[in-house]
């Protein structure tokens, strides 16, 4: 196997309890199709060892058939996967919040226009009321004097008396109009800034996720190296144990007590020492056999 930088993967739930050394036991959707010994060597597992829940596998050769199989079915591990998922889940919430804010601001426009129009209408009404009262009072005064209302003097006096009223309400109307325009401009600015603010907030989330990924990649690499080292050690220990078992079986026969091999071994040793067998020599036979098995 061409060893490179190892990557860490977690065993999927569908493979928990399955034994990669027994290819037929794998579910069809996880069928490997390659040499089982190569898969075991890449996974660092023994021939009878089953996958366990939460088990993490470090793969150093992702281009090999075992490496490609792991990449296809296993999930790559990130130490910050939970935080990344939580941040990513917050993006739709942010988008929804800004959409709701936009709806609220757009809904403010018509009521705002209506409120200021009501103020302008009220100013117009009061202006007309004040002008009417002043004109009526002046007409009565001219009537008492016997001056006809059609005279130019009356009309000139009416204009002089009502000019301050018109100027006052005209200034009030302009102020209300200016305030209305300011409020509408402010509302428009808020609406135009929403997409910018939303984009900034979403970008901030993406940056935080990217920072976690970068930090997690460094920690994941360290975890993968440690897991890979552990897998290699465990794998070679298993290989060494298998070799010892094979060597013992070749020398003394099967380990299966029902086969009678151990009994035959005892019997042969006793026959070799027939006539001189004592408790001490029998103990030495037991010690010798147990020593070979360990």
* pLDDT tens, residue by residue, 269-278: 555 555 454 4
The mean predicted confidence, pLDDT, of the chain is 76
Cα–Cα distances in angstroms (integers) from residue 191 to residues 98, 103, 107, 110, in the given order: 10, 9, 11, 14
What's the pLDDT at 114?
92
Q: What would the two tokens of residue 257 be?
A: 């007590």
In the block, tokens 């493979």 appear at 15
Q: Are 179 and 116 in contact (CB under 8 A)?
A: yes
pLDDT tens per residue, range 38-95: 888 878 787 778 888 878 777 777 778 888 888 888 887 765 665 667 777 788 888 8
CB 102 within 8 A of CB 194: yes
Cα–Cα distance, 185 to 192 (Å, whole number)? 10
Give the number of other CB atoms < 10 A from CB of residue 80. 19
pLDDT at 233: 66
Structural contact between residues 84 and 32, judged by C-beta atoms closer than 8 angstroms: no
Neighbouring CB atoms inside 10 A of 289's CB total: 16
What band does 149 get if pLDDT is binned at 50, 70 and 90?
confident
Instruction: List own/partner pairs for 220-225 with CB under 8 A and 24 or more apart.
Output: 220/7, 220/8, 220/77, 220/78, 220/79, 221/5, 221/6, 223/8, 223/56, 223/77, 223/79, 224/5, 224/6, 224/7, 224/8, 224/58, 225/6, 225/58
pLDDT in tens, 101-134: 889 989 988 999 999 999 999 999 999 999 888 8
Contact 169, 123 (CB under 8 A): yes
DSSP for 119-144, please give it.
Answer: HHHHHHHHHHHHHHHHHHHHHHHHHH
More confident of the two residues 156 and 2: 156
d(CA 207, CA 199): 12
How many C-beta atoms surround the C-beta of residue 244 within 10 A?
A: 13
pLDDT recorded at residue 1: 43
The CA distance from 45 to 47, in Å, is 7
pLDDT at 185: 92
Question: 182-214, pLDDT tens digit by residue?
Answer: 999 999 998 999 898 889 888 888 887 777 666
Q: Is the pLDDT of residue 23 over 50?
A: yes
Among the ranges given (59-73, 162-176, 236-250), the one the predictor scored with the smallest mean pLDDT: 236-250
Answer whether 0.85 is exceeded by the pTM: no
Neighbours of 279 (CB within 10 A): 7
Determine what percent of the chain is predicted with pLDDT higher than 70.
Answer: 66
18: CB partners within 8 A, 6+ apart: 25, 26, 27, 30, 50, 51
């Amino acid at each position: 196997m061409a060893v490179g930088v190892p990557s860490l993967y977690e065993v999927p739930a569908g493979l928990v309890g399955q034994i990669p050394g027994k290819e037929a036991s794998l579910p069809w959707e996880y069928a490997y199709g390659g040499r089982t010994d190569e898969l075991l060597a890449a996974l660092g597992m023994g021939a009878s060892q089953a996958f366990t829940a939460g088990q993490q596998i470090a793969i150093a050769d992702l281009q090999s058939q075992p490496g490609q199989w792991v990449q296809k079915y296993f999930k790559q591990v990130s130490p910050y996967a939970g935080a990344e998922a939580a941040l990513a889940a917050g993006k739709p919430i942010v988008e929804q919040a800004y959409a709701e804010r936009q709806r609220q601001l757009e809904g403010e426009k018509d009521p705002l226009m209506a409120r200021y129009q009501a103020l302008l209408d009220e100013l117009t009404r009061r202006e007309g009321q004040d002008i009417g009262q002043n004109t009526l009072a002046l007409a009565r005064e001219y009537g008492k004097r016997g001056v006809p209302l059609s005279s130019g003097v009356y009309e000139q006096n009416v204009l002089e008396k009502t000019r301050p009223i018109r100027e006052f309400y005209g200034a009030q109307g302009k102020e209300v109009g200016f305030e209305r325009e300011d409020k509408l401009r402010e509302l428009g600015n808020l609406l135009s800034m929403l997409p910018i603010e939303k984009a900034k907030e979403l970008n901030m989330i993406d940056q935080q996720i990217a920072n976690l990924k970068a930090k997690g990649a460094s920690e994941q690499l360290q975890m993968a190296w440690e897991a890979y080292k552990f897998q290699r050690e465990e794998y070679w220990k298993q290989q060494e144990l298998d070799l010892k078992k094979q060597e013992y079986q070749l020398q003394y026969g099967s380990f299966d007590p029902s086969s009678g091999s151990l009994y035959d071994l005892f019997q042969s040793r006793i026959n070799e020492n027939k006539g001189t067998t004592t408790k001490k020599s029998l103990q030495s036979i037991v010690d010798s056999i147990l020593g070979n098995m360990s």
